[in-house]
Structure 1
Amino acid sequence: MTAEYSAHHLQVLEGLEAVRKRPGMYIGSTDSRGLMHCLWEIIDNAVDEALGGFGERIDVTLRPDGSVEVGDRARGIPVDIEPRTGLTGVEVVFTKLHAGGKFGGGSYAASGGLHGVGASVVNALSERLDVEVDRDGKTYALSFRRGEPGVFADSGEPRPDAPFTPYDERSELRVIGKVAKGVTGTRVRYWADRQIFTRDATFHLDELEQRARQTAFLVPGLHIAIGDARGETPVTTDFHFDGGISEFADFLAPDSGVTDTWRLTGTGDFTETVPVLQASGAMVPTEVTRTCEVDIALRWGTGYETVSRSFVNIIATPKGGTHQQGFEQGLMKVLRTQVEQNARRLKVGTDKIEKDDILAGLTAVLTVRLPEPQFEGQTKEVLGTPAVRQIVTSVVSRSLGERFSSTKRDDKAQTALLLDKVVAEMKARISARAHKETQRRKNALESSSLPAKLVDCRTNDVAASELFIVEGNSALGTAKEARTSEYQALLPIRGKILNTQKASISDMLSNAECASIIQVIGAGSGRSFDLEQARYGKVILMSDADVDGAHIRTLLLTLFFRYMRPLVEAGRVYAAVPPLHRVIVVNPGSKPNETIYTYSEQELHALLAKLQKAGRRWQEPIQRYKGLGEMDAEQLATTTMDRAGRTLRRVTFSDAEAAATVFELLMGNEVAPRREFIVTSSDRLARDRIDA
């Protein structure tokens, strides 16, 4: 740093030099996320061609040498001379920032590329980039090294470290082959520059496949093949869907449907003033009329999770924008009106539905297409075009309103179910808020809202406290004597509780056993569940060690998974492991007999064989526990409740979506898939595991 500061201290970064100096401005970051962003800049160029009706297949291949190749069968990048620069179209696209066919010249009606920097940014950040274009019966080729055109002296397979000779005065397209008449397309292969990207930056196959699947849904009929040749065995996955975003919404939906998948479509016009490039080269502000096409697929399910995806010209906008705001505004407008019109039937009183009530259980795919949308930044995560909001609101209001006013039997039945669900979500939210406000540890003993059957503990240390949910009152009496009252609380339930996978939220809240569990834990339920307000550090499900006990445990886990999932995610839900057998080993003389507990038939037989081999005797008959109530307090404490000797099974799940699928299969409304699962899985069941 010096005190002198004049014009000669300023730097002007020319062309691609600016990209290499500040890559984060163009691709967000230089880790794996930025590496993937570069790849999608190239793929999106091919997708834009497919959107315009050119080319039906895109091939993407991850190669062992770290390069990636993207090929399409579209029109091919222009190879003729661009008059202003005197360069071929290929060189203009890959070396000039803000250059391309997406600035209103009529080449693209709607595209994901807007700024004209995608291909040139990838080129600037690549150690080597090769492009081949099939046009006019020939295959043209051009290579670049860190954005500079030239020729690599390759011998065999292309390498980024091969000797490179840049063009001195004028670059030229090389003709490297011939193609049949009418065959067109582009192939781009590049090696990311490790001087720019971090060492651990890699292409993630699962992320690539996920987005390829998403794009195939958004462009019906398009084939996208993702190949990974980096391992010992090359793998290729092809994505192709004809159902469009309706099929996409069904794919994303995590639960069974309350409604069918509805399609809301429409268009709207708006005007905006934009600078238009004239033939003279001047930019003149001009008022132009734009058309925005809106296409939405949505459905409501039985759960309360919201799955929403929004796109502008098939580019994902994960952070939303004006189209997302318009969509939610339209939903609110229609459903609030419908709830008010049906207030007496729905018994809503003076309560008002909120956005979260409407979004609960909603799966939606929102797409808009318009020329030259305004995005916030090159990464295009937020749409900023103001007029789109009102257009989307209008389309949603009109199309959804028509669905509610339809006289078709299916539409009337489904809209009625939807209103019931939205109002149930509202009531559940209000009830959960009331639960949350009343369930505070400091006044828990004085609170009349806690169930009378709760046997609470004394400690105020949440982390040290434990809540045992006990099956039946008979086991409760023994557990009272077996527990450590300082930190162990007991809540009895009557047998098999409500199957919350099938039941509605209102049915669940009106069920005495489910309501008691939610009240005692004190953290609310569903979306309003607050893990920090949970009154116990561990929740332990203590049921009999038989088939009925396992069923009760499954029903309880379903309740926790659907309405108190953060408690399971935090690893604070456990299953007690009571013993099945009590073996009293007879010791000779005056030495006291030894008591051994076993937890399975296999473990019992192994113990008896071991004792017999050692020549030791045991008392007959061996006690077989049919339930917790058959134990005395000392036995229950020693085997199941005392921290020093008990065994607990922590309930966790690594994949929430997979777990939700299993719960829906085993506990949901659809009988046929469950029956098929039982039939096809029967050969995996060991007969000796059946408690009969």
Structure 2
Amino acid sequence: MTAIATKSNYNADAIVALEGLDPVRKRPGMYIGGVGTAGLHHLIWEIVDNSVDEAMNGHASEIVVTLHKDGQTISVSDNGRGIPVDKHPKTKKPALEMVLTILHAGGKFEGQNYKTAGGLHGVGASVVNALSKELTAVVRRDGAQYKMEFERGKPTTKLKKLKGAVRGSGTTITFTPDPQIFPKTTFDTTLIRARLETASFLHRGVKVTYVDEVAKTKESFVHEQGIVDFLNKVLKERKARPIHATPFSHSVDDDMRIEVVLQWTESTDEHVRSYVNGIPTGSGGTHENGFRGGLNKAVRNYIDTHNLTPRGVKITHEDIREGMVGIISVFVSEPQFQGQTKDRLNNPEVQTSVEAAVRGEIEQWMNSNRSIADSIVARIIAAARARAASRAASEAVSRKGGAKRTMLPGKLSDCLSSGKMQSELFIVEGDSAGGSAKQGRDRNYQAILPLRGKVLNTESATLKKILDNKEIQDMVASLGCGIGPKMDIAGLRYGRIILLADADSDGHHITTLLLTFFYRHMPQLISDGRLFIAVPPLYRIDLGKETYWAKDDAHREEILQKHGGRAKPEITRFKGLGEMMPKVLWQTTLDPAQRQLLRVEVDDQLETDRVISDLMGRDASARFRFIMDRAADAEVDV
């Protein structure tokens, strides 16, 4: 029995010091962000980043990533210098063993071996080793080949020099994630492919090969034009039509290497991809701030210099950047990332350097290309006028801070608790289902907002139409945090927003429509982990005295195969949530102790944008292709 430290026995014996790689296994989230899909694939990125570091410093020209036949084992190989294998003078251990078993051991601290690098903390390879069931390292150096094996971060063999001479140099790391750490250890081949292709754009001339032994495919990426090619791909994926043929492109390699490419399109949103030393920074940082600041100042200077300021309308930063698609990639010798997952850059000096470089170059480019610049300014003025026209409607539904109870929609059944983080808002399909949810909920912390009528497809709707929609007005008013650029997450009135629709195809369609709205117009709900999807049952299965709930046809068959021999099953298919008794809805869907919730997450921004555009946009041919490609595998819900 474990002793619990109390006020009387809290002494030195209660202090635990984790040694070696134990901290990584004990708290993996501190090192990879979590043990879900993103954390699992972060293991690959850590090893790939090490190979990329060799390439960006001129020591490697090719990287090969292999997904093995089991779908759970990855190999990353490069033709770089190879991790050193000689013994360290202090520890007397091979350098390879130190890199893979000791946190903060690496060759990137002194700045002598790498001018720029993505991995500067010296923890990436050792973290992957700690969280792997098995890991094997093979190093080629000085005409020989060396091998060492590990299990869950601990060596199982000594460093071995293999027989025979070999040509070239490099490192190959093969690892299998530990199922004791990760609930799911199967890799997503689409996610891997996209990340590797992005790496080839950011490091022009480097050949990146992806071998998928599961699908039996092999694909190589190499892009001599770098991020210019990347911009063309992003525009194509987003189906964004440029308003000028030639993009702005600038590259400088001085104390800091800065690469920028951008183009204005007919789209109504801004889309920026930013990278530091080849690592995607999804949360931006000082380099992104410098890019936006330089862009805004350059455009304003051009407008002022040529007397193009419109009458009766104020141009904002949002107007300048509306429809702009841009990519910024910087290479910094000493990047200061926010956390080991490297999602945000914090170097203050980078903002100043990027802003100065971008401002001067864009202003010169616009003055040298007057016809392009004037078309961009015309597009900005049109955006400003459209924003002014919709401002009144936007202010009608955009609320700063928490909404007062007297201003809430009449159909909202609010909860009694004023504690934001503990409260939940269920957005429910239909009045009938809303009635059952109201009766079945725990009114202390669960609020219910029923939706009446058809949910608007916001992907194809104008901003005015969206703001005029009664259901959207009610949702935004209930949430209390505003919409679009004025959204303030601090004003959100609930800790969780849960979409609750029928378990059939119609319910899935309604959920998809709501997800489209939140992704496009309230994305911070997703990035903050506040948006969830409830999983109500589609079937009730009675087997003797036992009752089971199945969320779909496959789950029903799984239950019948597992328990069907006990008695003749009585199966009831729910036509909708409104058919459920309030007690049943509580037991299966609302009760935190028994329910299942799916957190809405975005792992790949590019793929998410493409799918939403294809499925919900105006172009019906994209949906037709999607349906025809999957028609053979579809199960029709009738």
TM range (shorter): 0.5 to 0.7
Give the Å deviation of 1:347: 2.5
Residue 186 of structure 1: aligned partner: 171
**CA 1:172–1:438: 2 relative to 1, 3 Å:** closer
Residue 195 of structure 1: aligned partner: 180
Q: How does 1:48-127 map to 2 (within 5 A)?
A: 48-65=53-70, 66-127=72-133
**CA 1:430–1:342: 2 relative to 1, 3 Å:** farther
Is 2:193 the partner of 1:235?
no
Decide whether the 8 Å contact of 1:19 with 1:124 is kept in 2.
yes
CA distance in 1, matches of 2:611, 2:149: 44
Q: How does 1:248-327 map to 2 (within 5 A)?
A: 248-253=230-235, 254=238, 255-259=240-244, 260-266=246-252, 291-327=255-291
- The correspondence for 1:368, drawn from 330, 334, 352, is 330
Give the Å deviation of 1:178: 2.1
Decide whether the 8 Å contact of 1:103 with 1:372 is kept in 2.
no
Residue 558 of structure 1: aligned partner: none
CA distance in 2, matches of 1:377, 1:569: 27
Give CA deviations for 1:179-221 in whole Å, capped at 9, x if unaligned: 13xx1111111121111222x2431111111111111100112
Give the Å deviation of 1:176: 4.0
SS at match of 1:295: strand
Decide whether the 8 Å contact of 1:267 with 1:391 is kept in 2.
no
Residue 479 of structure 2: aligned partner: none
Decide whether the 8 Å contact of 1:142 with 1:174 is kept in 2.
no
Q: How does 1:385-396 map to 2 (within 5 A)?
A: 385-396=347-358
SS at match of 1:338: helix
Q: How does 1:429-440 map to 2 (within 5 A)?
A: 429-436=387-394
Decide whether the 8 Å contact of 1:432 with 1:528 is kept in 2.
no
Q: How does 1:630-645 map to 2 (within 5 A)?
A: none
Residue 158 of structure 1: aligned partner: none
Query: Quick one: which amino acid aligns to residue 9 of structure 1?
Result: A
Decide whether the 8 Å contact of 2:138 with 2:172 is kept in 1.
yes
Query: Quick one: which amino acid aligns to residue 375 of structure 1?
Result: F
Decide whether the 8 Å contact of 1:78 with 1:90 is kept in 2.
yes
Query: Quick one: which amino acid aligns to residue 15 of structure 1?
Result: G
**CA 1:138–1:244: 2 relative to 1, 3 Å:** same
Decide whether the 8 Å contact of 1:31 with 1:201 is kept in 2.
no
Give CA deviations for 1:339-389 in whole Å, capped at 9, x if unaligned: 33344x45334x332222122111111111111211111000010111111
Give the Å deviation of 1:31: 2.0
Give ranges in structure 2 of 5+ residues lacking alignment: 399-409, 413-428, 432-451, 454-459, 474-482, 488-512, 522-608, 626-638
SS at match of 1:178: coil
- The correspondence for 2:316, drawn from 332, 347, 354, is 354
Residue 204 of structure 1: aligned partner: 188
Residue 477 of structure 2: aligned partner: none
CA distance in 2, matches of 1:519, 1:149: 61
Residue 162 of structure 2: aligned partner: 175
SS at match of 2:297: helix
SS at match of 1:81: coil
Q: How does 1:567-606 map to 2 (within 5 A)?
A: none
Is 2:619 the partner of 1:656?
no
Give CA deviations for 1:35-86 in whole Å, capped at 9, x if unaligned: 1011111111111111112222211111233221111111111122222221
CA distance in 1, matches of 2:25, 2:46: 16
Give TM-score scaled by structure 1 length. Answer: 0.58
Give the Å deviation of 1:266: 3.5
- The correspondence for 1:23, drawn from 18, 24, 28, is 28
Q: How does 1:374-413 map to 2 (within 5 A)?
A: 374-406=336-368, 411-413=369-371
Q: How many residues align?
A: 440
Is 2:208 the partner of 1:224?
yes
Query: Quick one: which amino acid aligns to residue 368 of structure 1?
Result: V
Decide whether the 8 Å contact of 2:54 with 2:80 is kept in 1.
yes
Give CA deviations for 1:218-255 in whole Å, capped at 9, x if unaligned: 0112222222223xx52223222111011111111231
Residue 135 of structure 1: aligned partner: 141
CA distance in 1, matches of 2:139, 2:468: 69
CA distance in 1, matches of 2:251, 2:127: 36
SS at match of 1:427: helix
Identity of aligned residues (%): 34
Give CA deviations for 1:369-417 in whole Å, capped at 9, x if unaligned: 11121111100001011111111110111101111222xxxx1110000
Alignment root-mean-square deviation, CA: 3.7
SS at match of 2:100: helix
**CA 1:339–1:464: 2 relative to 1, 3 Å:** farther
Decide whether the 8 Å contact of 1:267 with 1:292 is kept in 2.
yes
Give CA deviations for 1:74-114 in whole Å, capped at 9, x if unaligned: 11111222222212221121111111111124111001011
Bigger radius of gyration among the two: 1
Give the Å deviation of 1:305: 2.4
**CA 1:385–1:205: 2 relative to 1, 3 Å:** same
Decide whether the 8 Å contact of 1:227 with 1:237 is kept in 2.
yes
Give TM-score scaled by structure 2 length. Answer: 0.63
**CA 1:569–1:90: 2 relative to 1, 3 Å:** closer
CA distance in 2, matches of 1:33, 1:58: 22
- The correspondence for 2:38, drawn from 16, 28, 33, is 33
Query: Quick one: which amino acid aligns to residue 39 of structure 1?
Result: I
CA distance in 2, matches of 1:399, 1:366: 14
SS at match of 2:156: strand
CA distance in 2, matches of 1:519, 1:8: 61
Query: Quick one: which amino acid aligns to residue 59 of structure 1?
Result: V
Give CA deviations for 1:246-275 in whole Å, capped at 9, x if unaligned: 11111112312123211133467xxxxxxx
Give ranges in structure 1 of 5+ residues lacking alignment: 152-170, 269-290, 441-459, 466-486, 489-500, 510-514, 531-560, 571-652, 667-676, 678-692
Give the Å deviation of 1:568: 13
**CA 1:29–1:176: 2 relative to 1, 3 Å:** farther
Give the Å deviation of 1:128: 1.3
Give the Å deviation of 1:303: 1.5
